[in-house]
Amino acid sequence: MNFELGDVLIRREDIGQRVREMASDISSAYGDKELVLVGVLKGAVVFLSDLIRSLPVSMVIELDFLGVSSYGSSTESSGVVRIIKDLDINISGRNVIVVEDIVDTGLTLSYLMNILRERDPETLDVCALLDKPSRRKTDIDIAFRGFEIPDEFVVGYGLDYSGKWRNLPEIYTVTEKS
Ligand code: 5GP
């Protein structure tokens, strides 16, 4: 199937505003505790980079990344998750927040959370910019959530379709090319 850009779903200003609010929520929740932010590659990179710059400069934050297999070139989740890049650091006893672009079926995050929980972090939370609750196949507790969106495939602000459109500053829906 071939897709083209549809409408803007979330405007740049609204993303910026919400990211600042989420950073403020994180800072209130953790106070002066040291944090490890784990970005899930590649979609969460744009969100993560804005998020850390909205956190107070006094917060001590370590960054790490997890690479997982995703949709490939299709827009449907296979439910199969594979770790392509593991963490570099030991998270035992640390306060960890997993930063995701979008929670759809929840299968990816559920798998990742199980793996990370086994490594004995002091705390483990999820921060996701977008949430499509209508598609959920497993329970996920999202401590910090940006926007709830309808069941539409979206791109931009780090999210891609076949490697395209990650660089868009706004979040768009895609439509099927006729
Ligand atoms: P889940 O395992 O929750 O079904 O899917 C999570 C991953 O699927 C996300 O991290 C993202 O990579 C991809 N994904 C889910 N929905 C969308 C979407 O609407 N647009 C894009 N670009 N990726 C999505």
Cα 122–chain centre separation: 21
Q: pLDDT confidence of 89, banded at 50, 70, 90?
A: very high
Indicate which residue of 50, 101, 104, 125 is catalytic. Answer: 104
Q: Has 104 been annotated as catalytic?
A: yes
For residue 80, pLDDT over 80 is answered with no
Instruction: Report the distance separating Cα 165 and Cα 173, nearest Å.
Output: 11
Q: Are 81 and 67 in contact (CB under 8 A)?
A: no
Query: Could you tell which of 42, 104, 115 is best to mutate to test the pocket of ligand 1, judged by most ligand atoms within 8 Å of the CB?
Result: 104
**CB of 77 sitting under 6 A from ligand 1:** yes
Structure tokens at 35: 């944090």
Q: What phi and psi, each to the nearest 5 degrees, are found at residue 167?
A: -85, 0
Instruction: Report the distance separating Cα 168 and Cα 25, nearest Å.
Output: 26
What is the radius of gyration, based on Cα positions, of the chain?
16
Q: Domain 3-176 is of which CATH architecture? A: 3-Layer(aba) Sandwich (3.40)
Q: Which atom of ligand 1 is nearest to the CA of 106?
A: 3
pLDDT number for residue 135:
86
Lowest-pLDDT range of 37-41, 78-82, 97-101:
78-82
pLDDT number for residue 69:
78
**CB of 39 sitting under 6 A from ligand 1:** no
Residue 124 has a CB neighbour count (10 Å cut-off) of 20
30 C-alpha to center of ligand 1: Å?
Answer: 28
Instruction: Enter the pTM of the model.
Output: 0.94
Q: Which atom of ligand 1 is nearest to the CA of 132?
A: 16
* Mean per-residue pLDDT, 154-160: 97
In this structure, the residue with its CA closest to atom 19 of ligand 1 is 153
Q: Taking Cα atoms as reference points, which of 176, 178, 174 lies closest to residue 160?
A: 174
For residue 52, pLDDT over 90 is answered with yes
**pLDDT digit string (tens) for 142-152?**
999 999 999 99
Instruction: Report the distance separating Cα 97 and Cα 79, nearest Å.
Output: 22
Q: For a pLDDT cut of 90, what percent of the chain falls above it?
A: 83
Structure tokens at 3: 């897709």
Q: pLDDT confidence of 73, banded at 50, 70, 90?
A: very low
